[in-house]
Amino acid sequence: MRRAITGTLFVLFIVIFSDMALAVAKDARVAFVRGTVTATDSALNMPRLLQRDSRVEVGEVIDTGPKGLVQLVFPDSSMLYIKANSSVKLQAFHFSPDEPEKDAAVTEVIKGSMRALTGIVGKRSKDKVQFKTKVSTVGIRGTAIEIWQDGDAVTVDFGDVVIENAGGEVSLGEGQSAKTASPQKAAATFAFQRPSNDAAILAKELVQAAPDEVAEKSGEICKELSTEDALFLMGIQGQVPGFTPRVATSTVEGLTICFPVDQIALLLTTSVMIYPDAASDMLRTAAESDVDVAIALEAVLRGMEDPSKDQLNALFNGAADLGLTPEQAKQVVQNIKDTGICR
């Protein structure tokens, strides 16, 4: 039986959301940033500092300092993890759920290193996703990859890619790597092995674990993970064959053992950005893992882009079942408004 407070929360929900909704996303959103990271519009040539929830638009160049890194999540749930001393340009991006013919995702690696996870565009319009470097163009086929050494090297974690330049085409599959010496020479494969604590290796282990073992295993590995690696782990899981959203929620459950509340909130937000259909399950899992329900609800809401009233109603009612009070609900909404991610 639903708690009596739920009806009160529903009325409150109607009032507090009557003049506000979460924004519709068209550009990349900063999920995590560390150190100095800027975005520069080529026309204006005026860099601006990026912070959490900043938007990065098509045509902008992202630069990370010596200790900087940034993780971007796009509206189609794709993700870029740009590492220190790197420069990356978003050449093109377009995603509309009902217009696959307009799909586009083109990224240029000017220097440095980055890892990329495909989203809906990469899965339904594989030929529309490209990564350009000074020596080649990398076409992906629904995958997780790393481009490093200033674009000379490519490593495939999951899926496959085609590296193309004037020297020819080279196909790579899972676990393979290749270097390209110049624009006129075809890529050459080389041996490279991820360390055992890499997010791609850990994600594969979690996805392949028995369902009732995922939370325990993620609890065992979390001490080895930085916040950014934990966030990337949440994202790269979706690229592993056999993945289900339950793996992601169980991973969050396990990670609550090691990470403080503010970082768990960040994990929840990023996870919902990548797996929006798992929002309610993420909320319940966090609350049942002793994360304050108001903190969990706010984190989940921050990760949602243009949710329907029905989705929001379900989240608030679910939070009420977990003990959220009307006063807490009102404060959560005010906090969301204060972030500036609402319209």
Instruction: Give the count of domains, the chain.
Output: 2
pLDDT of residue 105: 95
Together in a domain, 128 and 45: yes
Using one digit for the tens of pLDDT, what is the confidence trace for 148-176? 988 899 999 999 999 999 999 999 999 99
Together in a domain, 231 and 334: yes
pLDDT of residue 44: 81
pLDDT of residue 68: 97
Distance between CA atoms of residues 329 and 283, nearest Å: 14
- Per-residue confidence at 24, pLDDT binned at 50, 70, 90? very low
Distance between CA atoms of residues 174 and 152, nearest Å: 18
Using one digit for the tens of pLDDT, what is the confidence trace for 199-243? 999 999 999 999 999 999 999 999 889 999 999 999 999 999 999
Output the domain CATH number for residue 175: 2.60.120.1440
Out of 190, 209, 242, pick the residue that ends a domain. Answer: 190
Distance between CA atoms of residues 64 and 13, nearest Å: 40
Residue-range definition of the domain harbouring residue 93:
28-190
Together in a domain, 242 and 298: yes
- Per-residue confidence at 342, pLDDT binned at 50, 70, 90? low
pLDDT greater at residue 269 or residue 313:
269
- Per-residue confidence at 305, pLDDT binned at 50, 70, 90? confident
- Per-residue confidence at 300, pLDDT binned at 50, 70, 90? very high
pLDDT of residue 224: 84
Using one digit for the tens of pLDDT, what is the confidence trace for 36-61? 999 999 788 899 999 999 999 999 99
Token duo for residue 47: 């860099």
Sign of the CA dihedral 15, 303, 35, 264?
positive
DSSP per-residue codes, 152-213: TEEEEEES-EEEEETTEEEEE-TT-EEE--STTS--EEE-----TTSHHHHHHHHHHS-GGG
Together in a domain, 32 and 164: yes
> Quick check: 5 pLDDT over 60?
no
Mean pLDDT of 242-260: 94
pLDDT of residue 220: 94
Together in a domain, 40 and 73: yes
Distance between CA atoms of residues 232 and 198, nearest Å: 10
Mean pLDDT of 309-318: 90
pLDDT of residue 157: 97
Out of 167, 190, 213, pick the residue that ends a domain. Answer: 190
